[in-house]
Chain A
């Protein structure tokens, strides 16, 4: 068997030399001037030496393993491109999930890179600084690999041409953007609680694991590979998230209520953000792996249950309003797909009514809710479409001041009633989608009154025009008739049918009554 050179330092020693040994005490400047953001949040750290990174990854190993990951990843990108991999996916509808991923998720990776670079400067503990710097490099790698993977799709499909412009402007992309802006404008400890713990540890599995497994199941070799390659870094990030929380809780009991409030806030914000991912899983993957509700059960209820049981000893309880997510898991994806279906004039991706087989799958996966509340609506819209009256909603939706999702969700105890909360702050009334978002506002009103809400901005005339078409084309850079509207009959659809040598429909579905005559 292998012989190990005993003269080499072991992992623990190597890691100690990398972190503690490269740090120093300040002499000619006061420590609090060098790390000015470390105290204002109220988190008390008595001994930074208690910080432990269980992965203990040193720079030499980090570069070695990351380089190997990159080589494997880019070999697959090359193979995918050289073999016209985009023609071997399950169905061209699938690419619409990637359009949402590129505009809504990849920019978050870049924002995370910036966030970790910033907080990695702000901690006086060397172990925390090293961990944040490494994660910053990882996040930069994620955005780069995702852009490289999806640039191939950009050659063959519409809607992928201007993701960073769209991220800063398009109405539904203000949901992820406001999430990350909120985290990045918080103090360093709240940022770590928000991103490392609540997002990376508690929720990120829902984004990268079942969805990426779904990408594989839909023949998208490039995406599953960047997804799992990114997620292999995520295993370290998750560990960091858990260590951060335990470290802060162990340092001082005064930290407990502060952290509990952050956990409540960031769990709820993450839950709202992930509605988009849930919709991708339930509606945008033609071959389905697992429903959103099932993924929520495995990756939140089961995994989060074990986690919060473990944190109980510190006086931490599960996040506030968690019981609403148990109810919501059977509703939210249907509600949000119905919203995007209506507002498809203003999206960089297409929407459609699921086929019968997919509707049946949804009925089976959501036995308590789908047939009762949602299937009839989709079937009605399908009938309208067949009559040439494909439904588009031309009004602008009412956004929640905190999560910026339109107020489309229903009351936890009544799925036939829209959930709406409001609160008056300094004579002005603000609106929310839920108790969770309303609470977040009440804790920090001065932050959220500054929210940049796309609908308000459009009505105020700040988006290059007053009518929907001008805003969509000129302000969002969405090409009307190519990137947006119904999938059936779209240029993407026509191209797909031509590649597959299938019959091209002469008209978009529902655009005339003769459509189904063939």
Chain B
């Protein structure tokens, strides 16, 4: 059985840049569009990197800003100033 981590965002303007950045940094991620919601799943690990988001947004971005648009997550969370990681270790 596969071990998928996932994250879902509200389908809004802020999330557009987040999703774009996630795809850039996680080529194995799969994006699904639902009404009002964008869900991204990936085998084992998914990473959001501040640097990539800032580049796409064109401004400074605090990793915790994602709390405004996130709907749900699955996987162990590890967060610091530069990245937000979802991971299954098994």
Q: Interface on A for B, CB 8 Å cutoff? A: 1-2, 4, 10-12, 54-57, 61, 65, 68-69, 72, 205, 208-210, 212-214, 216-217, 224, 228, 231-232, 234-236, 238-239, 242, 289-290, 302-303, 305-307, 309-310, 312-313
The residue among A61, A228, A312 with the most chain B CB atoms within 10 A of its own CB is: A228
> Which residues in window 41-68 of B have CB below 8 A to A?
51, 54-55, 59-61, 63-65, 67-68
The answer for the CA separation of A234 and B5 in the assembled complex, in Å, is 16
Known: A305-B1, A310-B89. A235 touches B34 (CB 8 A): no
Other than the given A11-B64, A11-B81, 19 more pairs (CB < 8 A) read A2-B61, A10-B80, A54-B78, A54-B79, A55-B79, A65-B67, A209-B71, A212-B36, A213-B34, A213-B36, A216-B35, A216-B36, A228-B36, A228-B37, A234-B71, A303-B4, A306-B4, A309-B90, A310-B3
Q: Which residues of B contact A61 (CB under 8 A)?
A: 64
A224 and B36 within 8 A (CB): yes
- Residue on B with the closest CB to A302? B4
The answer for the CA separation of A2 and B61 in the assembled complex, in Å, is 8
- Residue on A with the closest CB to B76? A242
B72 and A309 within 8 A (CB): no
Tally the A-B contacts, defined by beta carbons under 8 Å: 115
B30 at the interface (CB under 8 A from A): no
Distance from A69 Cβ to chain B, minimum over Cβ atoms (Å) = 6
Known: A303-B6, A309-B90. A235 touches B36 (CB 8 A): no
A11 and B80 within 8 A (CB): yes
Cβ-defined partner of B71 (8 Å) among A57, A214, A231: A231
A306 and B2 within 8 A (CB): yes
Q: Which residues of A contact B73 (CB under 8 A)?
A: 235, 238-239
Distance from A353 Cβ to chain B, minimum over Cβ atoms (Å) = 26
A228 and B10 within 8 A (CB): yes
A306 and B74 within 8 A (CB): yes
B55 and A309 within 8 A (CB): no
The residue among B36, B60, B68, B89 with the most chain A CB atoms within 10 A of its own CB is: B36
Q: Which residues of A contact B10 (CB under 8 A)?
A: 228, 232
Q: Which residues of B contact A235 (CB under 8 A)?
A: 67, 70-73
B35 and A217 within 8 A (CB): yes
Known: A214-B35, A306-B2. A232 touches B70 (CB 8 A): yes
The answer for the CA separation of A232 and B18 in the assembled complex, in Å, is 15
Cβ-defined partner of A12 (8 Å) among B59, B70, B80: B80
